[in-house]
Amino acid sequence: MDLQEVFGASRLESEDRKRHTSFKSLKQRVREMPATLGFARRIAALPFSIIAEIKTKSPSMGSMSLFADFTANRAHFIYQGHSVVSAISVLTQATHFGGSEARLRTVRRQTRKPILRKDFIQDEYEVYFSRAIGADAILLMANVVTDKKKFSDLHALALDLGLDVLCEVHSEDELEIIPTEAKMIGINSRNFRDKKGFLFSKVTRHTGGDASTDLSAFSLYEKLPTNVLKIAESGMTSHNLDGVLQKYPFDAALIGSALLRGDTQAELDRLNRAIVTALPLIESARSAQRSDSVFATS
């Protein structure tokens, strides 16, 4: 399965939404929405945060339910009650991730934690749609929106609507696309490239591991601007989190499969212990890098 197939499926889903809800009515709905909860502010409030994800399947890992007694409707209750979870990420792409806008709306009604809408957002309509269904932040991917001006325009629109933006990169060249006013940059360690091109690698079934992640990609941390929130995406677990943070003191990690393929509560507890172990290093690095940060809270 190549990335263009996934992007194409997302465009088709978006076109279907546009047929059912006009842009004009969507904008009206956004004007009636309450204020967002401040996703970036919540992440910055702790030395290290977990953004816990809800999805039912993925192209690389298959169905979450194959590995655990998992239901998406149960996960957010566990996330809501655990202090290590600062925010929740909800996959809304249906075809390849089993997501839906209905699931995000459900989570919105039942949690007061900020919500990231994780999807392959490619135009203004989807930015407005994210706000209308209750998201506090959106994901913009530099390998999806590859035009620098378009990326900047969508980023600016999101901020105007009260949404925070997690800007995702996979390589150093993609950093050129990210606007200078970005507040959050995420490094995705998933390796989409194989000898045939950009393809999703397959899960290593016999070990349950994900063969499509390469944690060495986090070395891109060294190239990120100082005054942004730095997010580690994909491949993070309680077993490797401490080791990653010893090298690269990220501000947060977005974690999905590690939480959804086993005992979610137990994995969150293990993550919390790993964070406590790495806390002195994290706090020292954050103090040095953010003494004059725009994210200072009172």
Closest CA to 118 of 79, 87, 84: 87
pLDDT digits (tens, 9 = 90+) for 67-108: 444 455 577 788 988 999 999 999 999 888 888 899 899 999
Q: How far is CA 155 from the centre of its chain?
A: 15
Three-class SS string for the chain? CEHHHHHHHHHHHHHHHHHHCCHHHHHHHHHCCCCCCCHHHHHHCCCCEEEEEECCEECCCEEHHHCCCCCHHHHHHHHHHCCCEEEEEEECCHHHHCCCHHHHHHHHHHCCCCEEEECCCCCHHHHHHHHHCCCCEEEEECCCCCCHHHHHHHHHHHHHCCCEEEEEECCHHHHHHCCCCCCEEEEECECCEECCEEECCCEECCCCEECCECHHHHHHHHHCCCCCEEEEECCCCCCCHHHHHHHCCCCEEEECHHHHCCCHHHHHHHHHHHHHHHHHHHHHHHHHHCCCCCCCCC
Does residue 41 form part of some domain?
Answer: yes
pLDDT at position 283 is: 76
CA angle 271, 48, 77 (to 5 degrees): 55
pLDDT digits (tens, 9 = 90+) for 220-252: 999 999 889 999 998 889 999 988 988 899 999
Does residue 297 form part of some domain?
Answer: no
Q: Could you give the CA distance from residue 73 to residue 65 in angstroms, rounded to a whole number?
A: 13
- The Cβ-side half-sphere exposure at 137, using a 13 Å CA radius, reads 27
Tell me, what CATH number does 198's domain have?
Answer: 3.20.20.70
Does residue 278 form part of some domain?
Answer: yes
pLDDT at position 65 is: 56
pLDDT at position 234 is: 83
Beta carbons of 79 and 55 less than 8 angstroms apart: no
264: how many CB neighbours lie within 10 A of its CB?
21
pLDDT at position 73 is: 59
Per-residue model confidence as pLDDT tens for the chain (298 residues): 567 788 888 889 899 999 999 999 999 999 999 999 999 999 999 989 999 999 887 766 666 654 444 455 577 788 988 999 999 999 999 888 888 899 899 999 989 999 999 999 999 999 999 999 999 999 999 999 999 999 999 999 999 999 999 999 999 999 999 999 999 999 998 765 544 444 444 444 334 445 567 888 999 999 999 889 999 998 889 999 988 988 899 999 999 888 887 788 899 999 999 999 888 877 776 666 655 454 544 3
Closest CA to 75 of 89, 58, 92, 96: 89
Q: Could you give the CA distance from residue 256 to residue 265 in angstroms, rounded to a whole number?
A: 13
**Phi and psi (nearest 5°) for 248?**
-135, 100
Q: What is the domain extent for residue 180?
A: 3-289
Q: Which residues have CB under 8 Å from 298's CB, separation 6+?
A: none
Place of tokens 């290593």: 204
Does residue 294 form part of some domain?
Answer: no
Name the region of 220 (left: φ>0; alpha: ψ -120 to 50; beta: rest): alpha
Does residue 295 form part of some domain?
Answer: no
On whether the pTM is more than 0.95, the answer is: no
Number of domains in the chain: 1
